[in-house]
Amino acid sequence: MSDTDVIATEAAERYATALLDLSKETKSLKTVEKDVKALKKLFASSETIQAMASNPVFKIEDKVKAIMALCKSAKIGKTVSNFAGMAAQNRRAAEIPAMLKAFQEQLAKERGASKAVVTSASKLSAAQLASLKTNLKKSLGKSVDIETNIDPDLLGGFVVQIGSRLFDSSLKTKLEGIKLAMKEV
């Protein structure tokens, strides 16, 4: 990790802490949490938004206007909209996704929950997610917030990552294991 990555990470943590403190102060934690999730999803789903935020050619004022317009069209509340606009104004538009992620991690840590990233070959149903959440809670002894991703290359099954632990029950990994075992014979 380079020095600039460390500085960016520290800035994201500080901004996230400020947003968390503000949302507690204004007693709007649930709304802010929902809006953070929505804005994070918007950034993740659009390469255009990411490119605009990180492109130094765009003027800061234009980035602020674009981010505020994005928040307005997505019906994101005033607290998170102003937060994102302020981050862009402070030349940190490219770091907004990291700030939102840091906010979610700090909130989960404060609640005593772990965060699990579940990658599956296809979209998991609500029943599958509920079952997975229950089983993870039993095995970890604490509640788990689940973030889902889809990777068709897995063919089937899923991969769960909690912190540095990785549980891989994907069909792709099982097939690779069989392929390796057959080569050894």
> Is the same domain home to 155 and 87?
no
Q: How many CB atoms lie within 10 A of CB 80?
A: 26
Provide the CATH number for the domain around residue 156: 3.40.30
**Amino acid identity at 178:** I
Show the domain range for 165: 113-184
Instruction: Fill in the amino acid letter for 86.
Output: M
Boundary-marking domain end, from 108, 134, 150: 108
In this structure, what CATH number is given to the domain that contains residue 87?
1.10.520.20
Q: Classify burial at 99, counting beta carbons within 10 Å of its beta carbon; exposed 0-12, middle 13-18, buried 19 or more.
A: buried
Domain tally, the chain: 2
Residues of the chain short of pLDDT 50, as ranges, are 1-6
The pLDDT of residue 61: 93
**What pLDDT does residue 8 have?**
54
pLDDT of residue 2: 45
In whole angstroms, what is the distance from residue 170 CA to residue 157 CA? 4
Instruction: Name the residue among 151, 169, 172, 173 with its Cα closest to residue 159.
Output: 169
pLDDT at site 83: 92
Tell me: do 165 and 178 sit in the same domain.
yes
What's the CA angle centered on 157, arms 154 and 161, to 5 degrees?
85
74, 108, 142 - which closes a domain: 108
Domain C-terminal end among 48, 83, 108: 108
